[in-house]
Amino acid sequence: MKNLEKKIVFITGASSGIGKSCAIEFAKQKANLILTARREERLKVLANELENKYNIKTLCIKIDIRNYEDVESMYNKLSEDWKKIDILVNNAGLARGLDKFYTGRLSDWNEMIDTNIKGLLNVSRIIVPQMVERQTGHIINIGSTAGHEVYTFGNVYSATKFAVKALSQSFRLDVLDKGIKVSSIDPGMVYTEFSKVRFDGDTERADNVYKGITPLSPDDVAEAVLFCATRSDNVNINEIILTPVQQASSSQVYRKN
Ligand code: NDP
Ligand code: 8X3
């Protein structure tokens, strides 16, 4: 298992769910972390806990990845040491709504497209050039089973995750001669704030999504991320698809009463 001590890991969406669990997994490996999201207070609490527990260095940065200029100026303000990011975890993302496309809300579509596709591109465009220059690095994108098959009413969210899949494959081609790894971790149903966000804070509706099943935990996904990040230098894990045992596909889920 590759040693990650003092490696610099940049995580988007570290304030919650999968991103937060990834932060904890990398901290256990003694990596130094750049934790980003819009809810800065949450990042600070997490960073403080991880610094004390694992004796690592952290930076917390409030950022909305939809804004390219903000991402660029955030990176330019980093010290030369912190700029040398070894692992980029493109995790921040969301679903909004669950509707037929012909009744869907434009604001929901824009938020998903701007975050899941353009946000991932914004961050990658800014961070990857230094990996290219140093001929080393690892980009880990969080995709979804929704990027492999559509499901009823999943239209635009699925489209964004199909785009993430296309980008992961394209990135791999673009950096083929640069010594950079590109992995995609594609989970099925994970119990996080995802459904609460999707249903605008309606916790009852959100909880119903997971009724009768044992979903993945964000820690399960973070373990897969860590597995990719700790393979030997010559090994690239292209893709991991993981689902709860009770989920066979995006729409086939076995629920116990
Ligand atoms: P959460 O809602 O728990 O976490 C989402 C994270 O993304 C938060 O930290 C949030 O931080 C951040 N985020 C959202 N929008 C922005 C933005 N514009 N700028 C910066 N950060 C942003 O959900 P998950 O942990 O489940 O989601 C993480 C990823 O996993 C997403 O890409 C999602 O599509 C994917 N995924 C989730 C699955 C699931 O079932 N939960 C299954 C498959 C994939 P903040 O609000 O503080 O900015
Ligand atoms: C999240 C999983 O099935 O809700 O990407 O789309 S699903």
pLDDT tens-digit map of 115-157: 999 999 999 999 999 999 999 999 999 999 999 999 999 999 9
Q: Give pLDDT tens digits for 222-242.
A: 999 999 999 999 999 999 999
Residue 99 CB coordination number (10 Å): 14
What average pLDDT does this structure show over 168-178? 98
Bridge partner list, 33? 9, 58
**Ligand 1 proximity of 142 Cβ (cutoff 6 Å):** yes
- Tell how far the Cα of 144 is from the centroid of ligand 2, in angstroms: 6
Residue 186 C-beta-side C-alpha neighbours within 13 Å: 25
Residue 52 above 90 pLDDT? yes
179-219 confidence digits (pLDDT tens): 999 999 999 999 999 999 999 999 999 999 999 999 999 99
Q: Is 157 noted as a catalytic residue in this protein?
A: yes
Q: How confident is the model at residue 166 (pLDDT cuts 50, 70, 90)?
A: very high
Give the mutation target among 194, 199, 243, 246 for probing the ligand 1 site: most ligand atoms within 8 A of CB. 194
Residue 257 pLDDT = 81
Q: Report the Cα 184 to chain-centroid distance in Å.
A: 9
Q: Is the CB of 154 under 6 A from ligand 2?
A: yes
- Output the pLDDT for position 171: 98
Query: Which tens digit of pLDDT belongs to each residue from 26-36?
Result: 999 999 999 99
Average pLDDT, the chain: 98
State phi, psi for 139 to the nearest 5 degrees: -105, 125
Domains located in the chain, CATH noted:
8-242 (3.40.50.720)
pLDDT at 167 (0 to 100): 99
2 labelled catalytic: no
250 ligand 2 Cβ < 6 A: yes
Ligand closest to 149 (CA) is: 2
Average pLDDT, integer, range 4-8: 98
- From residue 158, how far is each of 94, 106, 153, 224 by CA, in Å? 11, 16, 9, 21
Query: Which of 38, 45, 191, 243 gets mutated to test ligand 1 (max ligand atoms within 8 A of its CB)?
Result: 38
Residue 90 CA, closest ligand 1 atom number: 32
Q: Cα angle at 121 between 115 and 122, to 5 degrees?
A: 80
The verdict on pTM exceeding 0.85 is yes
The pLDDT-based confidence of 64 (bands split at 50, 70, 90) is very high
CA pair distance 251, 151, nearest whole angstrom: 6
Give the whole-angstrom CA distance, residue 74 versus residue 44. 17
Burial class (CB within 10 angstroms; exposed 0-12, middle 13-18, buried 19+) of 85: buried
Looking at ligand 1, which residue's alpha carbon is closest to its atom 44? 144
| 3 has a pLDDT exceeding 90 | yes
Q: Percent of the chain having pLDDT more than 70?
A: 100
